[in-house]
């Protein structure tokens, strides 16, 4: 059975500004670039080798994956970028500052939107110019499949399809897989792997660019899960 490593992208500009990012295509900060390189270097030094690399359709995971593979001298391996690995869609909260949102709606409500398992944020208007169906990268995907806002539960179900159709078959072919993830898509993957409760997955912390290493048996049951120690200067909240 192949090994699985999941790494949240390096810090993005909107992470730094504490904005709800979701599906907005925000790039890495200089610090985020260094975080991704640090993660790749640590994986190389630990002797990891991969057969398949996965990312979302958003540049913060794609660039993080490039940087990690560059540090591992493995930029030749296949990379699949797929919308089902995108971050949770934060709907009408997209682009808003967390502190300003708390001031407007209250800390308890914002916590539910951020961490509650089945709490859906206010939806983005279908006529909003940022609606996913307007973007070229999502052309060919049925419009009703593209969200205008998601709960964590809905994010898990979206990720589950890709897990079943792509990740599981690769692991069963003894391929070692590295995923450059987002905070909530990583939570979704962890829930699928470990069958975490709703409360456990809501509390699960996902720092930037810290590789999460899974050893699995032939039935895809988790034998071990470990987080690598990476000396990053900063980590960011999941937004």
Q: Is 183 annotated as a binding residue?
A: yes
Q: Is 21 annotated as a binding residue?
A: yes
Taking the CB of residue 79, how many other CB atoms lie within 10 A of it? 16
Q: Is 13 annotated as a binding residue?
A: yes
Q: Is 176 annotated as a binding residue?
A: no
**Is-contact 61 178, C-beta < 8 A?**
no
Q: How does residue 234 score in pLDDT terms, banded at 50, 70 and 90?
A: low
4-227 is classed in which CATH architecture? 3-Layer(aba) Sandwich (3.40)
Calculated CA dihedral for residues 99, 103, 108, 114, nearest 10 degrees: -40
Cut 0.85: pTM above it: yes
Give the integer Cα–Cα distance in Å for 237 and 16.
9
Q: Report the candidate in 220, 234, 133 with the shortest Cα–Cα distance to residue 170.
A: 220
Q: How does residue 202 score in pLDDT terms, banded at 50, 70 and 90?
A: confident
**Is-contact 56 80, C-beta < 8 A?**
no
Q: b/e for 138-169, b at 16 or more Cβ within 10 A?
A: beeeeeeebbbbbbbbbbbebbeebbeebbee
Catalytic residue list:
9, 87
The domains of the chain are located at 4-227
Give the integer Cα–Cα distance in Å for 151 and 138.
20
Q: Is 109 annotated as a binding residue?
A: no
Share above pLDDT 70 across residues of the chain, in percent, rounded to a whole number: 97
Q: Is 8 annotated as a binding residue?
A: yes
Is 80 exceeded by the pLDDT of residue 238?
A: no
Q: Is 56 annotated as a binding residue?
A: no
Q: What pLDDT is stored for residue 1 in this prediction?
A: 81
Q: What is the mean pLDDT of residues 197-214?
A: 95
């Amino acid at each position: 059975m192949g090994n699985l490593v999941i790494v949240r992208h390096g810090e993005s500009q909107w992470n730094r500004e504490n904005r709800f990012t979701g599906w907005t295509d925000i790039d890495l900060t200089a610090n985020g670039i260094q975080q991704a390189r640090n993660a790749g270097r640590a994986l190389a030094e630990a002797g990891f080798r991969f057969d398949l690399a996965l990312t979302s359709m958003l540049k913060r995971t794609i660039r993080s994956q490039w940087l990690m593979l560059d540090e591992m001298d493995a930029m030749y391996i296949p990379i699949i970028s797929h919308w089902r690995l995108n971050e949770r869609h934060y709907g009408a909260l997209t682009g808003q500052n967390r502190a300003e949102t708390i001031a407007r709606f209250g800390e308890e409500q914002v916590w539910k939107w951020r961490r509650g398992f089945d709490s859906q944020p206010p939806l983005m208007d279908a006529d909003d110019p940022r609606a996913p169906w307007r973007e070229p990268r999502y052309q060919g995907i049925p419009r009703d499949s593209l969200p205008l806002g998601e709960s964590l539960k809905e994010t898990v179900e979206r990720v589950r399809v890709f897990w079943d159709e792509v990740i599981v078959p690769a692991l069963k072919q003894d391929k070692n897989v590295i995923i450059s993830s987002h905070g909530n898509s990583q939570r979704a993957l962890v829930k699928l792997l470990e069958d975490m409760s709703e409360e456990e997955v809501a509390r699960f912390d996902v720092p930037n660019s810290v590789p999460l290493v899974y050893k699995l048996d032939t039935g895809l049951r988790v034998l071990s899960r470990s987080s690598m120690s990476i000396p990053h200067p900063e980590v960011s909240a999941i937004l």
